Amino acid sequence: MKTIGVLGGMSWESSLEWYRLANERVAARLGGYHSARVILDSLDFAEIEAMQARDDWDAAGGLLADRARALENAGADLLVLATNTMHLVADRITDAVGIPFLHIADAAGAAVSAAGVETVGLLGTAFTMEKPFYAERLAAQGIRTIVPEADDRRTVHDIIYGELVHGVVRDESRRSYVEVVDRLIARGAQGVILGCTEIELLLSAGDVSVPVFPTTALHVDAAVDAALAD
């Protein structure tokens, strides 16, 4: 079994879910007492959030590149970044290491394509919804992406940072997300990507009428597949 290096802590709530799912997947695949081989570097999210707020992606990319090298030096055989938003600086990470990096949008796109969905709604932080890095990665896989209108983007973003990253899950917020998804469906979305690792704490497939693509779970599946590959 290969060792998965995880850049986490952004937020630790979703990193906890990533780690739990990885161990469950390995146990289901191998049985017995097996668990995932993981090296986790849990960053202080306050530092990352401050860089996001001042639009200092160069500093964020440098920090994550440094931590990625540390994971490689610690013995990781492959690398994941357990957050969607920070894939904005994925190129800095891949340039810094010599081990495979599994991009979360590739895992999401593969699942969207396998489901026969051509147009997908994207929920995430404002950075993920408004900057082109995620939609462009999906477009390279032949997937058209639509994002919520401005007011809905603000709602989605505020719930992530005001509630979900702190482990707060409210039924009222779930209803707000369902309304946002319904408006995306009305605009042509055939499915919805939960493009923030925390959103899976709030929304699931049974909440909406189209296929849901949970990026945390899909990313874990890709990582475990790679770790267990011959």
Catalytic option among 83, 85, 125, 128: 83
- 3-class state of residue 78 by DSSP: strand
> CA-CA distance, 1 to 76, in Å (whole number)?
11
Catalytic option among 125, 128, 196, 216: 196
The alpha-helical segments, DSSP class H, found in 54-149 are: 57-74, 90-96, 104-114, 126-130, 133-139
DSSP 34-47: ----EEEEE--HHH
The answer to whether 29 and 228 have CB atoms below 8 angstroms apart is yes
H or E element at residue 156: helix 150-162
119 is catalytic: no
- CA torsion through residues 22, 23, 29, 30, sign: positive
Show Cβ contacts of residue 225 under 8 Å, excluding neighbours closer than 6 positions: none
Nearest to 153 by CA among 105, 212, 196, 119: 196
Tell me the one-letter amino acid at 33: Y
Strand stretches in 112-178, DSSP E? 119-123, 144-146
125 is catalytic: no
User: Which residue has 């969207």 as its token pair?
Assistant: 112
Which residues does the annotation mark as catalytic? 83, 196
